[in-house]
Amino acid sequence: MITIARLTIGEAARRRILWVLVILAAIAVGITGWGVDRLVTLARENGTAEFQIQFGVSQILIFIAFQFTFVLAMTAAFLGSPAIASDLESGIALALLARPLRRTSYLLGRWLGLAVVLVAYGGGSALLAILVVGRVSGYTPPSVLMPIVYLSAEGLVVLTLSLLLSTRLPPIGAGAIAVVAFGLSWMAGAIERVGLAITASNPGVNLEIVGQVGRALLPTDGLWRGVVYGLEPGIVIAAASGQPLAEANPFFAASPPTVGFLAWAVTWVLLVTLLAAFSLRRREL
Amino acid sequence: MTRSTEPVIDVTDLRKRYGRVDALAGLTMAVQPGEIFGFLGPNGAGKTTTVKLLLGLARPSGGRGTLLGEPLGDREARRRVGYLPELFRFQPWLRAREVLALHADLIGLPGADRARRFEDSLGLVGLADRAGSAVGTFSKGMQQRLGLGVALLGEPALVILDEPTSALDPIGRIDVRAILRTARERGAAIFLNSHLLSEVEQVCDRVAIVDRGRVVAEGTLAAVLGAQETRVRCEAVDPAGLASLAAFGPLRVEGRELVFVDLLEPRVPDLVAALVDLGVRIQAVVSGRESLERRFLELVGHPPPEAPT
Ligand SMILES: Nc1ncnc2c1ncn2[C@@H]1O[C@H](COP(=O)(O)OP(=O)(O)OP(=O)(O)O)[C@@H](O)[C@H]1O
Ligand SMILES: [Mg+2]
């Protein structure tokens, strides 16, 4: 397993994927820092209240994070979906799996190697972005770690799903499905929040179920709420929670994900990995 | 390496269905330690399928078997098997030396003198000067050579080669024969898949001929190749004349030829004299084995082409 994980990381490095990701991250962080710096400078010149600036910066951070989760999900899907499928297609797997290597170890090695790459990239860029923004604007989210952990977890969920698909589908197919699933999960969450707002005025209409089902099937959206919550200043949460329109906003979270949900997210990753191992073991080469 | 007498491959009534295709329809064979075993058959006969079942890369639909004394696909048994797949690739971004290192890690080859072993392996297959090149830059034949080096890594007790010379030039083929003989000398058994009769003829101790998922003949080359034959092309001989030739052993008539089975060479002149005495005019006398090719065609159910007259 460790051999395969090392091989996987080596591949990312050798094939320059890693370096492309690092350069992209550096560019993204650079632009963000510069943009926020300009905005904050202008706002201060106009005498905007500091608390408004903080609110604005937190909103910008959330929007950037939102863009970034898509980038990260795509990265996870495009790292994960060929990881096994292309080995199976090209015949690389024939030589590897004839060795005394368990198919489950091969799968876990792939997962571990890609997880390291993904977390290093996702977590690293997010941390850098938060630090840079904090430096130029003076606003640092209440918890730096929480949004990074949730963001990385989102990536890992998508990675796990792509690896499962990769045991059966060709690379492109697996990647496309994983990205679409991620998008649908986000939409289900958005519908749910609109539903919450409507239910407040019209009891009887119940759209929450859409979100609950979506979250159960793919826990990315629930984790996204954790990213949002972690990036918001405390005063915003206090002011907006309980107001239906604020609750309906997909870029607002009144509370962090529940422990129950987090337990489910972890269980989900384990279950899907198990399913992937089962699928790969049944697969004929 | 301890030589056991237990077969390295032993399968009984092995079956494999792919949808409606019976890739293997009850295959039975045994390969002994220390022998080079040729597995011969036409395209689609089930050679590659057999190998995949042996290594646990695919699951049998029926039958049973052992590999190095363990059930098919056993993980520890695979540690002692080297395998060169038929259609395969190595990670194109790895260097030749790194491919060997990866496989050495996978079989748990001890770390000491590994570097030297890798250089030896690459030298053996003629890639010594390409140790540092990425596999992606290799030609098809070079990849196959590397594959052979990888299959022989760590002195496996059994080496399974699926058409190892399909991409090799004539020199490469000669090299492979030498490499296989060397491996046999250190005690390894070699299972060689091929449809190249000449290749098998030159190195194999025993062969099995497989057709449509079944072994149709198995044994030493001599046994499978058929008996020694003496063919006499001559005018027709009347029944009384034929009866008088009974002393020269089993005899059959094939068109314009008389075929004597297992007639010893020194007796051939006597046979010719006897025929002349009968007043038979002889055009040609040919003594030898039935060719492998001819026998192969017979076994796989194609009639051999008519001998030119
Ligand atoms: N994965 C598969 N799916 C469906 N059919 C298959 C599969 N693999 C093999 N077959 C079928 O099984 C039969 C035996 O194929 P196999 O590859 O074992 O032949 P072979 O003896 O190795 O032939 P060749 O000399 O061409 O390599 C063929 O009819 C082939 O079409
Ligand atoms: Mg084949």
* Category of B215 on φ-ψ map: left (φ > 0), alpha (ψ -120 to 50) or beta: beta
Work out the angle at residue A153's Cα, subtended by the Cα atoms of residues A149 and A159, and round it to the nearest 5 degrees: 150
Q: Give the residue, out of B21, B51, B214, with the most ligand 1 atoms within 8 A of its beta carbon, to mutate for a pocket test.
A: B21
- The CATH class given to the B9-224 domain equals alpha beta
Question: What residue spans define the domains of chain B?
Answer: 9-224, 227-288
Give nearest CA residue, ligand 1 atom 2: B18
Ligand 1 centroid to residue B20 C-alpha, Å: 12
What end-to-end distance do the CA atoms of chain B give, in Å? 54
Ligand in nearest proximity to the CA of B19: 1
C-beta of residue A197 within 8 angstroms of C-beta of residue A244:
yes
Q: Which of B55, B75, B85 sits opposite A91 (nearest CB)?
A: B85
Q: How confident is the model at residue A241 (pLDDT cuts 50, 70, 90)?
A: low
Chain A contact set for B108 (CB, 8 A): 100
Ligand 2 centroid to residue A189 C-alpha, Å: 51
Residue A94, pLDDT above cutoff 90: yes
Q: Do domains B9-224 and B227-288 have the same CATH topology?
A: no
Residue B309, pLDDT above cutoff 50: no
| Residue B91 sits at the chain A interface (C-beta within 8 Å) | yes
Q: Give the atom of ligand 1 at the shortest distance from the alpha carbon of B58.
A: 1
Token pair for A207: 């759209």
Beta strands B189-194 and B158-162 are: parallel
Ligand 2 centroid to residue B46 C-alpha, Å: 7
d(CA A98, CA A100): 7
CA of B200: how far to CAs of B35, B36, B101, B182, B196, in Å?
13, 9, 31, 16, 7
Instruction: Find the DSSP H helices in A202-258.
Output: 208-217, 220-231, 234-240, 244-248
ipTM of the complex: 0.86
Model pTM? Answer: 0.86
| Residue A281 sits at the chain B interface (C-beta within 8 Å) | no
At A275 the pLDDT is 97
Give nearest CA residue, ligand 1 atom 18: B46
**B79/A90 CB distance under 8 A:** no
Instruction: Please list every protein residue whose CB sits less than 6 Å from any atom of ligand 1.
Output: B 18, 21, 23, 41, 43-49, 86, 195
Residue B305, pLDDT above cutoff 80: no
Least confident range of A42-46, B104-108, B221-225, B304-308 = B304-308
Q: Chain B 257-276, CB below 8 Å of chain A: which residues?
A: none
Token pair for A199: 């239910």
Residue B306, pLDDT above cutoff 60: no
**pLDDT (tens digit, 9 = 90+) per residue, A77-93?**
999 999 999 999 999 99
The top-scoring range by mean pLDDT among A124-138, B216-230, B295-309 is A124-138
Q: What is the CATH number of domain B227-288?
A: 3.30.70
